[in-house]
Amino acid sequence: MILRPPYLRPGDAIAIVCPAGYLPLERAQACIDTLELWGYRVRIGPTLGGDSDNYFSGGDEARLADLQRALDDPAVNAILCGRGGYGLSRIIDRIDFTRFRQRPKWVIGYSDITLLHSHIEANYHIATLHAPMAAAFNEGGAGGVNVRSLRQALEGEDLNYTSAPHAFNRPGQVSAPLTGGNLALLAHLAGTASAASTAGKVLFLEDVGEYLYNIDRMLLQLKRSGSLDRLAGLIAGSFIELKDTMRPFGATVEEIIRDAIKDYDYPVCFGFPVGHGVQNVALRTGVPHRLSITDEGVSLQSI
Amino acid sequence: MNRKNFLTSVLGLGALGPICIDKSKSAAQATPAPPHAQSEPGTSAQNQPLLIPPYLKSGDGIGITCPAGDITVKEIQPAVQLIESWGFKTIAGSTVGKKDFIYGGTDAERLADFQSMLDNPDIKAILCARGGYGSVHLVDQLDFSSLLKYPKWIIGFSDITVLLCHIHANLHIASIHSKMCNSFPDDWSKAEPVQVASILSLRQALSGNEKMQYTATPHPRNRPGAAEGQLVGGNLKTIETLAGTRSDIDTAGKILFVEDTGEYLYSIDRMFWHLQRTGKLDRLSGLIVGGFKVKPDDPGEEFGRTVYDIVTERVGPFGYPVCFDFPVGHQKENYAFKYGVPHTLVVGDQVNLTETTKPILT
């Protein structure tokens, strides 16, 4: 069974760390202000707006130390990753989860942070939050649906999301744990110790900026590694800024997904508000949800 | 490797002195293996004896097919003419000239063409016309039982890495990592010497008259040493996308070669981490880094490490030899490798890769 970290209460502390790409402090200011407005204390790790001059928010040692400190510190109740990018692959095998397992806390993020979610689910069976990160609070985002859902998820409220019908949806109702995240990361984790089992779960997928043929290849990798055949259901989130080869691939991303799972009969929905698009609601990974897909639309409720 | 060296190696065996394999290197690699998944169903065959398909004789047939991207009949003519000038027959498959968006025909058409070439006893080698994308759509549906009974050479690279890895992992039959039809020059007389030499190396690999020998220019970032092991690898991205599947290769005790094109540096870094995290770097005999055409960083996203830095960092804990810029990959100089066949690699003042099986004289 999945272990849920304690939900947050006013006065609790949230650490903001950047285990992957660089994020200037000012890009996190709205996030910090909002979290404080909600009644939380915010701890800023040295990797947020640090002195890095390259792609990463700091060297491997600095990123590892900052994340490790946040995981270990009993006074930190949740860890919000400032942004994704790339970088967790480089430190994941050196993170010590001993204290985190003793005192689980919510780890929040998406995109490259998928690696952390999957690793924690696969190895420690602790729920995490696939949710917007610091930049989502900017440009008025602090009052928007995405950020509001993050607060609801953190504070233990029931989550209830809906999305519009899609011609490729396959109807059905299932109750099962959620798992998933960024498709490229899930493919990258296949064959490693960080790959979470998908059997009996509702898998959600999203991606950004990939070539269509590569989406196809990654889905086939999931399929061929046994990650698509025993699902309880599939949620296709947003797939945005996709690229095509000079010779067109000849199928849309929805068609690619539909074809990759045509051998199975579980319920499937498309266009769910999760991913790098405008809508990206908070999802508790590892936690059971009720997914209902009908001709009228889709609902996903936490149980 | 320049053409002169290549031709020297074609003409004479024993151009290299005796090669000492430093067994202490493997002992020095007693670093704990990283956690990785249980061995995949495909890996068991990799412990069985290697099957080497019969080398080709004059008059033997070579099938040309498109398991991935499409090609026109006209585009394969330079390859057809050259291969026939070597004394082989060519059999263009039904997918040559077919086009289904990026593919050389639908999945069913490509599958049927490849299958018929596997099953046709008159075809002694199957040359994939080009890479692109698509082999993974066929690999689980192909019936390899006739290949197992009557092994033949499967030839290609890039996307064809799927087939080379799958055949190595599941059947343990040697294949050829090589240039394909789309790399044969229209005008042989105007082709660059390294391109000519690369294509001629395919003929040498197919004929089996002499051991394969390669010499590469030493690179300052090379790590010296000597290694012996089966030669496996291919396109790095493709190898990554096979992880966790039954086509995934076991690299322990082997010489791994990798190449790629059009990837960002951060992605190359992530792929080398993936090799490490799937247990493909820690027990190697040696590492050959071929060509890497890097996609420039986006502005503001400077990665700050070169391919040399990335590889050096990843192989740091291990003791095996490593060489860079080996002439294999998406480039004019891309020699034919006998995939799965044992080789020795010596990295020193010179870089030499030499096939170690006894030549089969026909």
Instruction: Tell me if chain B has a CB within 8 Å of the CB of A52.
Output: no
The yes-or-no verdict on residue B213 having pLDDT over 60 is yes
Instruction: Tell me if chain A has a CB within 8 Å of the CB of B170.
Output: no
> Which pLDDT tens digit goes with each residue over B135-177?
999 999 999 999 999 999 999 999 999 999 999 999 999 999 9
**Which residues in chain A touch residue B269, judged by CB atoms under 8 angstroms apart?**
86, 89-90
CB contact under 8 A, B40 and A90: no
Residues of B (55-94) whose Cβ lies below 8 Å from A: 70
Residues of B (30-49) whose Cβ lies below 8 Å from A: 34-37, 40
Give the list of residues 6+ apart from residue B360 with CB closer than 8 angstroms, or none.
B52, B55, B208
| Most B CBs within 10 Å, among A60, A112, A225, A259, to test the B interface | A225
For residue A282, which of A219, A204, A230 has the smallest C-alpha distance? A204
> Which pLDDT tens digit goes with each residue over B94-116?
999 999 999 999 999 999 999 99
**Which residues in chain A touch residue B243, judged by CB atoms under 8 angstroms apart?**
190-192, 221, 225
The whole model's pTM is what? 0.91
pLDDT band (50, 70, 90) for residue B14: very low
pLDDT band (50, 70, 90) for residue A160: very high
The yes-or-no verdict on residue B34 having pLDDT over 80 is no
pLDDT band (50, 70, 90) for residue B357: low
Q: What are B63's strand-pairing partners?
A: B91, B126
The mean pLDDT of B239-247, rounded to a whole number, is 98
**Which residues in chain A touch residue B170, judged by CB atoms under 8 angstroms apart?**
none
Instruction: Tell me if chain B has a CB within 8 Å of the CB of A195.
Output: yes
CB contact under 8 A, B241 and A187: yes
Instruction: Tell me if chain B has a CB within 8 Å of the CB of A61.
Output: no
> Which pLDDT tens digit goes with each residue over A3-29?
999 999 999 999 999 999 999 999 999
Contact, A164 vs A271, CB < 8 A? yes
Pull the structure tokens for residue B60: 């033997």
Pull the structure tokens for residue A53: 């001059």
pLDDT band (50, 70, 90) for residue B44: low
Give the list of residues 6+ apart from residue A215 with CB closer than 8 angstroms, or none.
A183, A207, A239, A242, A253, A256, A257
